[in-house]
Amino acid sequence: MDAKTGFFYLFSVVLLFAAFRVITARNPVHAVLYLMLAFSQASAVWLLLKAEFLAITLVLVYLGAVMVLFLFVVMMLDIDVDSLRKGFWKHFPLAALMGSVVALEMAAVLLGGFRLTDAPNTAAMTEAAAKGIQYSNAQEVGKMLYTQYIYPIEIAAMILLVAMIAAIALTLRQRKDSKFVDASEQVRVRSRDRVKLVKVAATRKAEAAPATSPEQSK
């Protein structure tokens, strides 16, 4: 067994362990950390398969942005784990049944997809080889995303933004020590409501100034 095969088995074992701990960890923060570990190991496996662009994208997008956002949201929400555990075994049979159905469907699709029935497209392979070092997979993917698929990208960005705002709003509503200001009241504020001058009557008369003699004035 060479070094590449050894690293593949090492990354795969750690990936399976991290994925198992994601669904079995009692603390949701620990589950998110195990998910980040699983993504990092998947990125290492893609590097072994010479899919550098996918590996770097997984690290930058998921580990650098999405998972960190999930971690902060989970920490801000302060999830009550005890309340989530109630009724677990009651709904476990239905959940196990649905999970088995999904696993069988995925296995059927994946196993059927690995069967090569058509001959490889030699024309496309020849064109890619002719481009040589000038061909950039990342550049081609970027052109497709921001030209043909620009509207799905914008819709996905809006959905993520709405989800982030909703998570923050739920956090502010549930926590008692958070300060909240109604934006509508700020918009309807008037200038005369900001400062109000009140005339206060004097409580006692002002004392008369002491008289000065002519000598003191000199």
pLDDT tens for 33-91 read 888 889 889 999 988 887 788 888 888 888 877 777 777 766 666 666 666 667 777 88
CA distances from 100 to 97, 107, 112 (A): 5, 10, 18
pLDDT tens for each residue of 171-192: 665 556 667 677 787 778 777 7
Q: State residue 16's pLDDT score.
A: 92
Query: Alpha-carbon distance 206 to 193, whole Å?
Result: 32
Query: Alpha-carbon distance 20 to 38, whole Å?
Result: 10
Q: What is the identity of the amino acid at 170?
A: L
Q: State residue 10's pLDDT score.
A: 92
Query: Alpha-carbon distance 155 to 162, whole Å?
Result: 11
Spell out the domain ranges in the chain.
Answer: 1-82
What lies within 8 Å, CB to CB, of 40 at 6+ separation is 59, 63
pLDDT of 121 over the 60 cut: no
CATH topology of domain 1-82: Four Helix Bundle (Hemerythrin (Met), subunit A) (1.20.120)
Q: State residue 134's pLDDT score.
A: 61
Q: State residue 171's pLDDT score.
A: 63
Do residues 44 and 71 make contact, with C-beta atoms less than 8 angstroms apart?
no
Query: Alpha-carbon distance 79 to 61, whole Å?
Result: 25
